[in-house]
Amino acid sequence: MNDRDVLDPSALDRIDLADPALHHAHDLREVWRHLRDEAPVYRHERAGGEGFWVITRYDDVAAVYKDGETFTSERGNVLDTLLTGGDSAAGRMLAVTDGPRHAALRAVLGKPFSPRSLEVVVDSVRRGTQQLLREAVERGSCDFAADVAAHIPLAAICDLLGVPPADRQHIIDLTSTALSSADAPATPEATWASRNDLLLYFSELAESRRAKPYDDVVSLLVTKEVDGRPLSHEEIIFNCYSIIMGGHETTRFAMIGGVEALVEHPEQWEALRGGDKVTAAAVDEVLRWTTPALHSGRTATEDVFLGGEFIEAGDVVTVWNASANRDERVFADPGRFDLARTPNKHLTFAYGPHFCIGAYLARAEIGALLEGLRTMVAEIEFTGPRRRIFSNFLSGLSTAPVKLTPAPGFGG
Ligand code: HEM
């Protein structure tokens, strides 16, 4: 039940891996398999623009992630910014800062993301998820993407950042245009305008927290020093933006993709329902299977050999989590969705210095969703066409109409 064509590897010379429409329309699993086997460090030339390196094997992907000196994030960490001249937040926003400055910034930003600090947020995630699912089951059918999955990560991030409930829908709308696009590729102008609006929003929020700090991440950013000096206004805004961009759509797509996988693998759904709790292994398999962040990007800082290929200083290097997570050299039977899979050292959250700061929160959110489904729902069916986003960076469904049949005892 694959809604996309599985693209034949012979098309490799004709496709542009940076094209959002390619990922929207095609399943690249055979292309990735071919590259892992035949050209694991592959130079992707593009007719209309700058070429880049495509790294597809697990070990090579992990090696690039680990070596931030040779493969820097400071020009940008996704294809779109790398191919359009670099990231304007470089050296100021966590994900596009390296070395000692990154470590110092991460030491401050990491605190609110520790399991201990997140206790209250995770508690509210569990309650909120139960509530959203209960409403969806009572209604019988819903768009799982818009009605359930969109709200969970955003509510958690807004709790963390201190965004008032009245502004949350506005933030959902801006985020989806700024990063991916539901029904058509977003125009560069629309993307640019939403990114600016988000930055402006956080600029105003930071100003109000500076005047009156609360117990939230924006207040932490305006009051803490990094390396002996306060963060600049721009650094504060960029890092708020980074948290919302990093944590909202990624987690949302993992959730929708998890539901899709459960519908397509009824025996796994039965296993989940039959168990007495949601295991960490189940959450990690949903993360491996869905791999919402398809790639990360880097720039080589010096000439280097990787996998026998010569990469020149200044070259754009992309590592494809989507391929590494299906590498048969590391995962037994990688094309099987198996909620009991162990070990499962997927690279969904990257690896090394930039390992996702929100991994614990994301796992808690997906765990809460699976727990709610396991206890409240007997059967999930798709009732209409699913729609996939246009993006070369994120992967997931923007629309997922489902019917949820209540579990025996629901509401009793
Ligand atoms: C970093 C994926 C959830 C915030 C990353 C990276 C990946 C990733 C692949 C590394 C990027 C790179 O190396 O260039 C994901 C996925 C998620 C998720 C798939 C959900 C399933 C979250 C959440 C938050 C978050 C919930 C915050 C609320 C961040 C931040 C970074 C990051 C701030 C930068 C860390 C650094 O550079 O040190 N994430 N993420 N992410 N993520 Fe996540």
Q: What is the predicted ipTM?
A: 1.00
Residue 411 domain flag: no
CATH of the domain at 92: 1.10.630.10
The residue contributing the CA closest to ligand 1 atom 21 is 251
DSSP assignment of 95-145, as one string?
A: GG--HHHHHHHHHHHHGGGSTTTTHHHHHHHHHHHHHHHHHHHHHSEEEII
Residue 136 domain flag: yes
Map residue 64 onto helix, strand or coil.
Answer: helix
**What is the pLDDT, as a whole number, of residue 195?**
84
Residue 412 domain flag: no
Q: Domain of 222? A: 5-406
Nearest-angstrom CA–CA distance, 408 and 158: 34
Closest alpha carbon to 377 in 18, 107, 129? 129
**What is the pLDDT, as a whole number, of residue 1?**
44
pLDDT along the chain (412 residues), means of 10: 84 94 96 98 91 98 98 96 90 95 94 94 97 97 94 92 88 75 68 88 93 93 92 92 89 97 98 96 98 98 97 98 98 98 98 98 98 97 94 94 95 66
> How much distance in Å is there from the Cα of 355 to the middle of ligand 1?
7
Number of domains in the chain: 1
348 CA: nearest ligand 1 atom: 19
Q: Which of 356, 361, 365, 370 for a ligand 1 pocket mutation test, highest count of atoms within 8 Å of Cβ?
A: 356
> How much distance in Å is there from the Cα of 114 to the middle of ligand 1?
14
Residue 178 domain flag: yes
Query: How long is the chain?
Result: 412
Say if residues 276 and 356 touch (Cβ distance below 8 Å).
no
Which residues approach ligand 1 with their CB closer than 6 A? 73, 77, 94-95, 106, 157, 242-243, 246-247, 250-251, 254, 287, 292-293, 296, 348-350, 354, 356-358, 361-362
Helix axes 249-264, 359-376, angle to 10 degrees: 40
Residue 340 domain flag: yes
Say if residues 71 and 90 touch (Cβ distance below 8 Å).
no
Residue 30 domain flag: yes
Closest alpha carbon to 53 in 277, 227, 408, 308? 308
**What is the pLDDT, as a whole number, of residue 161?**
93
> How much distance in Å is there from the Cα of 342 to the middle of ligand 1?
23
